[in-house]
Amino acid sequence: MGVDGSYYADIKTPIGVKSGTLTLITNGEKLDGNMTDTDGHVANFHEGAWVKGNEFSCEFKMKVPFSSVLVVLNCRIEGDKCLGTAKTPFGLLDVDGTRV
Single pTM value for the model: 0.92
Decide: 35 and 56 in contact? Cβ < 8 Å: no
Q: Enumerate the domain spans of the chain.
A: 5-99
Q: Which residues contact 13 (CB under 8 A, 6 or more apart)?
A: 88, 90, 93
What is the 8-class DSSP label of residue 3? S
How would you write the pLDDT of the chain (100 residues) with one tens digit per residue?
A: 689 999 999 999 888 898 999 999 999 999 999 999 999 999 999 999 999 999 999 999 988 778 889 999 999 999 999 999 999 998 999 999 999 9
Q: Which of the following CATH numbers is that of domain 5-99: 3.30.420.40, 3.10.50.40, 2.40.128.120, 3.30.930.10?
A: 2.40.128.120
